[in-house]
Structures are given as structure tokens and as C-alpha cells.
């Protein structure tokens, strides 16, 4: 039936979502690994350290791929990191990507 096609279309729709990851996520190459994972998944956006010890950023791309990176941010991260919490906010559908690639912001 149409369920499969609807799911495919849903998975291909572009979304934008903001994230903030807490825990031991600074000084452990978290941004570098996040950038690598995002590029592997073909996502765009950015990542940066905050002044209060977390890592935050934005992810944009096909819904299914964004979900994969969200899962990675929640559970995996960089080898030395210890993630206590990953929060996602401002999720919205977008017509086109607003970033050219996935950048590490200082």
C-alpha cells in the first residue's frame, strides 16, 4: 500500500533541529567527531563548545539521517566523551538546507 511510500517521503523530507549535549563533552574531540559523523551521513549544520561546558549546534538534512545523528549524539559521541544528556529543540521542516556543510564554530 501507500504506507511504505509515505514513510520514504517522510524520511527524505528535510528537517532542521537544534541540539545541546551535556556531560564530559569538551576537550575530548567531541566537535571533530560530530563533524565527521555528520559528513558521513551527508548532513549540514554546525557544532560549538559553550561557555558552560556543553556542546551545542544545529543539524539539517533528510529526516532519517538527522535521526541517526541524534541517536549518535545521545548514545555514542567521541571515544573519550561521557554523555549525560542530549536535548533537541526547535525541530522544523525546511524547504532547503541553510548551510553548505557541517562546520566547527569557535
pLDDT in tens, 2-28: 566 655 566 689 999 999 999 999 999
Q: What is the DSSP letter of 71?
A: H
Residues of the chain with pLDDT below 70 are: 1-11
User: What pLDDT sits at residue 1?
Assistant: 45
Write down the catalytic residue from 31, 40, 65, 74. 31
The grid coordinates listed for 91 are: 525541530
Dihedral sign for Cα 33, 88, 72, 86, please.
Answer: positive
User: What pLDDT sits at residue 9?
Assistant: 63
Of 32, 38, 30, nearest to 55 by C-alpha is: 30
Can you say how many angstroms the Cα of residue 27 is from the centroid of all Cα atoms in its chain? 19
User: What pLDDT sits at residue 21?
Assistant: 98
Q: How far apart (Å, rounded) are the C-alpha atoms in residues 89 and 80? A: 25
Write down the catalytic residue from 49, 65, 67, 74. 49
| 90 catalytic residue (yes or no) | no
| Domain map (residue ranges) of the chain | 14-104
| 49 catalytic residue (yes or no) | yes
Domain 14-104, classified CATH 3.30.70.100, yes or no = yes
Amino acid at each position: 500500500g501507500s504506507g511504505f511510500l509515505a514513510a520514504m517521503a517522510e524520511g527524505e523530507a528535510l528537517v532542521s533541529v537544534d541540539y545541546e549535549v551535556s556531560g564530559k563533552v569538551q576537550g575530548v574531540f567531541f566537535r571533530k567527531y560530530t563533524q565527521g559523523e555528520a559528513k558521513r551521513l551527508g548532513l549540514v549544520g554546525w557544532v560549538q563548545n559553550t561557555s558552560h561546558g556543553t556542546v551545542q549546534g544545529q543539524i539539517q538534512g533528510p529526516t532519517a539521517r538527522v535521526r541517526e545523528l541524534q541517536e549518535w549524539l545521545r548514545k555514542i559521541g567521541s571515544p573519550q566523551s561521557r554523555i549525560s544528556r542530549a536535548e533537541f529543540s526547535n525541530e522544523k521542516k525546511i524547504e532547503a538546507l541553510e548551510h553548505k556543510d557541517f562546520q566547527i564554530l569557535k
